Amino acid sequence: MSEMTARGLRADAQLNHDRLLESAARAFARDGADTSLKAIAQDAGVGIGTLYRRFPTRDDLIEATYRNETELLCERAPRLLLERSPLDATRSWMEGFVDYMLTKHGMAEALPAILAAQEGLRLHSRDLLRGAIATLAEACIEEGTIRDGVPADDIMMALGGITLIAANESQRDLASRLIDLLLTGLATR
């Protein structure tokens, strides 16, 4: 029998799974939730049958993409802190959050029903995001670059507001400028 990966799939099946989720995230961000599943499969380098074996419905693919994008973003926070100063890591993570939200906006029509059907998914995602933000904020506080006492929830809400204002690629530069304003507002005085 072939060796299984940590997620319980053979290495080649896991690779196909990961490529499908990467392709789906790009397609949903660019074209919305109604994008062609055949095009997603082609972009991932697999057949449509492989896509349907992994994700029997469009909603299954949207849910898996949402979960995967949330986890990838949150796993990025501690890695960034190893590579950069806390403030630079936080700025980079916030830019990634904007990209994450653009992908999520592409799935916006389908996500409310999926989140309603999957008890706890919304709260789980918020907990992951809150934890990543808290990790970054604590490192910045220790560095002395942002002030203490701002809850991670407030920072998350501010980032959410930024993404609502700059809800599409054409306003991506605006989101970056607003992130700079947010970080300035969080700076130690």
Exposure string over 158-187, b if 16+ CB within 10 A, otherwise e: bbeebbeebbeeeeeeebeebbeebbeebe
| Predicted local confidence at residue 150, as pLDDT | 95
Token pair in block for residue 122? 């919304």
Exposure string over 134-146, b if 16+ CB within 10 A, otherwise e: bbbbebbbeeebb
In this model, does residue 173 exceed pLDDT 70?
Answer: yes
Q: Which residues contact 115 (CB under 8 A, 6 or more apart)?
A: 121, 122
Token pair in block for residue 48? 């449509």
pTM of the model: 0.85
62-104 pLDDT tens trace: 999 999 999 999 999 999 999 999 999 999 999 999 988 877 7
